Amino acid sequence: MAVSSVHQQPRDRSIIDNRAPHVARLFLDRVQASPDAEAYRFLDGGQWKSMTWSQAGDAVERLAAGLIALGVQPGQRVALASSTRLEWILVNLAVMLAGAATTTVYPSTNADEVGYILADSASVLVFAEDDAQVAKLQANRAGLPDVLTVISIDGLSDGDWVISLDELRELGAEQLRQRPHAVMERVAGIRADDLATLIYTSGTTGRPKGVRLLHSSLTYEAATVASIGDLSADDLQLLWLPLAHVFGNVLLLLPLQIGFATAVDGRVEAIVDNLAAVRPTFMGAVPRILEKAHARINTVARADGAARARLFDWAVRVGHRATAAQRSATPMSAQLKLSWAIADRLVLSKVRARFGGRLRFFNSGSAALDPEIAEWFEAIGIRVLEGYGLTETSAASFCNRLANAQLGTVGWPFPDTEVQLADDGEIMLRGPGVMDGYHNLPEATAQAITSDGWFYTGDIGTLDELGYLRITDRKKDLFKTSGGKYVSPAAIESTFRACCPYLSQVLIYGEGKKYVTALITLDPDALAGWAATHGMSGWEYRQIATATATRELVQTHIDQLNSRLNRWETIKRFAILDRDLSIAEGELTPSMKLRRALVTDRFGSQLTALYD
Ligand code: AMP
């Protein structure tokens, strides 16, 4: 069943047809089109500073010349191990202009896996954010004969293997003095079907696989989003997502195509302050960040006494009714219009002010978004547009549009992307965004992509008659209980997410077992608010999580969940962990997906105890 093209019509098809052949050209065209406009906003000594496109163009050209001076050849890989910051962006663009390809490495990746990625990609240079990243490379040096030089972004030269970013800039300046056209000559040789970036999928199991994304796929992503018309040069994004992940990576390409500015700061804990200071008009997010913001605002609203809490709840209810009417195109009564205006003035506008006051929408991707969270945001006046895609499809292949978003779905496919459902409901995608293949893994590539270009996503979904896609399952995660019944942990986890406001993470377990169990962690903010009203004010998370009252609270939500499940899927027993799962401990991927195998292994004794 291929989706009819009527749903895929872009507002401006010519943007896709005339798209830049490669990322270097996309960037150079942007610098030429709006040299004096703001390109990037970044923190320097705690102050936000700006850089124009023409300044970015000069900085990138110098860095690219430095790479050429260091001997980087067209098509070679240059690795980048850093958190989200201005230098990440400029270095990545410099690699593009030098005709090379970027390999992305998360700063949280352990030394062993960093060694694997650098060797598998045969990277010839590595940019390392700081001494901690350099130390991981030193630990692997013997196994990395291809790595000629390491460039430390914050650190200094060691007079041997490591040079500083300033030294690279000096090399670049010298190169340009001697060969002013060195970089532009390189750019002239880049082709649309050259490798642009090699992104290692963070992988919930096993060794990561290098996903080969070509220039043509990246410029397609940028052009297809631009063609939809929901973003303009006047927008301003706040970018905090890990740039080693494809979602963040693509959010860097959109400004090159469309021309808006990007404020960049990768610190997750600073998002709320940054929203208020930067006042962006949109932001890409993963669902967990939206859940946290929702929990925090609800906790704060309850901290000022019962009267304020009632006013807040009333205002959100009114917002819900008004936006539900708008969604279903039902006329609003005069009474509802009036209440909405009052609710907005007294409460909702103040909540929006916490997000800077200008936010038009969040883009949510990378995992399933609970529709109730999306509805709550809509009720306070901020849209949430959910999208869907994979590293293997250069990020989003589907996205909701402002004009016709449907909550609970991931929207329509991008123009020129085709979708089909296999007999078992697996989503298959074909189009310019699909990867070239897995690096060095021809068999895995042949398994994933058919000879006529269809990519098997491993996700299960349904398409409605208007072409909206719903993601219902993840094929790879299904397990069978000892009773021979299939259980979809992802589906149960997302149902639980929707019915337990105190939840942070949940892992559903039961492969080959008699019954299904769950490991649970609770959201520290939401939990603290509840604990304060249950005689546990000021207690630490660990104490609250292990209290009997907390167990009873979770049990009531488990009961609600069980009432919605098939008998063989119901959670018979659960354990609440005494700390939350984290990226730092490796239990969540940097895009905040649960690493099932690792968590199951690490908390094996708690799981075993559930079957005693
Ligand atoms: P990654 O390659 O890390 O971006 O992961 C891709 C996977 O994330 C997909 O195969 C899906 O399982 C999941 N995913 C991405 N977006 C969504 C979404 N909107 N709803 C549910 N799952 C999603």
Give residue 457 CA to ligand 1 midpoint distance, Å: 9
Q: What is the pLDDT of residue 203?
A: 55
Q: What is the pLDDT of residue 7?
A: 59
Q: How confident is the model at residue 202 (pLDDT cuts 50, 70, 90)?
A: low
Assess whether pLDDT exceeds 60 at residue 487: yes
User: How far apart are the two ends of the chain, measured CA to CA in Å?
Assistant: 47
The DSSP secondary-structure symbol of 197 reads: E
Ligand 1 close to Cβ of residue 286 (< 6 A): no
Give residue 49 CA to ligand 1 midpoint distance, Å: 34
Give the residue-averaged pLDDT of 60-78: 98
* Atom of ligand 1 at shortest range from CA of 589: 3
Ligand 1 close to Cβ of residue 365 (< 6 A): yes
Ligand 1 close to Cβ of residue 366 (< 6 A): yes
Give residue 251 CA to ligand 1 midpoint distance, Å: 16
Give residue 462 CA to ligand 1 midpoint distance, Å: 15
Ligand 1 close to Cβ of residue 140 (< 6 A): no
- Lowest mean pLDDT, pick from 78-87, 178-187, 333-342, 519-528: 519-528
Task: At 105, give phi and psi (nearest 5°).
Answer: -130, 130
Give residue 248 CA to ligand 1 midpoint distance, Å: 14
Q: How confident is the model at residue 172 (pLDDT cuts 50, 70, 90)?
A: very high
Neighbours of 93 (CB within 10 A): 25
Assess whether pLDDT exceeds 80 at residue 204: no
Q: Closest residue (by CA) to atom 5 of ligand 1? A: 390
Q: What is the pLDDT of residue 256?
A: 98
Q: What is the pLDDT of residue 5?
A: 46
279-336 pLDDT tens trace: 999 999 998 899 889 988 988 888 888 999 999 999 999 999 999 999 999 999 999 9
Per-residue tokens: 283:
């932001």
Give residue 343 CA to ligand 1 midpoint distance, Å: 36
Give the residue-averaged pLDDT of 474-501: 85
Give residue 556 CA to ligand 1 midpoint distance, Å: 30
Q: How confident is the model at residue 491 (pLDDT cuts 50, 70, 90)?
A: confident
**Which of 388, 407, 410 is the pocket-test mutation for ligand 1 (most atoms within 8 Å of CB)?**
388
Per-residue tokens: 592:
């905040």
∠ CA 474-478-479, nearest 5°, is 165
Assess whether pLDDT exceeds 50 at residue 4: no
The beta strands (E) that lie in 405-515 are given as 412-413, 418-421, 426-430, 437-438, 455-463, 469-474, 479-480, 486-487, 503-509
Ligand 1 close to Cβ of residue 410 (< 6 A): yes
Q: How confident is the model at residue 512 (pLDDT cuts 50, 70, 90)?
A: confident
Ligand 1 close to Cβ of residue 551 (< 6 A): no
Asked if 89 contacts 264 with a C-beta cutoff of 8 angstroms, the reply is yes
Q: How confident is the model at residue 110 (pLDDT cuts 50, 70, 90)?
A: confident
Q: What is the pLDDT of residue 33?
A: 98
Residue partners of 286: CB distance under 8 A and separation at least 6? 241, 247, 364, 365, 366, 367, 591, 592
Q: How confident is the model at residue 2 (pLDDT cuts 50, 70, 90)?
A: low
Q: Closest residue (by CA) to atom 20 of ligand 1? A: 368
Give residue 390 CA to ligand 1 midpoint distance, Å: 6
Q: Which amino acid is at 591?
A: S
* Atom of ligand 1 at shortest range from CA of 202: 3
Percent of the chain with pLDDT over 90: 83
SS3 451: coil
Q: Closest residue (by CA) to atom 15 of ligand 1? A: 366
Ligand 1 close to Cβ of residue 386 (< 6 A): yes
Q: Closest residue (by CA) to atom 8 of ligand 1? A: 366
Ligand 1 close to Cβ of residue 347 (< 6 A): no
Asked if 92 contacts 23 with a C-beta cutoff of 8 angstroms, the reply is no
**Mean pLDDT, the chain, as a whole number?**
94
Ligand 1 close to Cβ of residue 474 (< 6 A): yes
Q: What is the pLDDT of residue 8?
A: 63
575-589 pLDDT tens trace: 999 999 999 898 998
Q: Residues, the chain, total?
A: 612
Ligand 1 close to Cβ of residue 104 (< 6 A): no
Asked if 96 contacts 27 with a C-beta cutoff of 8 angstroms, the reply is yes
Give the residue-averaged pLDDT of 427-451: 96
Q: What is the pLDDT of residue 206?
A: 65
* Atom of ligand 1 at shortest range from CA of 388: 16
Residue from 118, 378, 389, 132 nearest 251 by CA: 389
Q: Closest residue (by CA) to atom 4 of ligand 1? A: 390
Q: What is the pLDDT of residue 529?
A: 85
Give the residue-averaged pLDDT of 409-419: 96
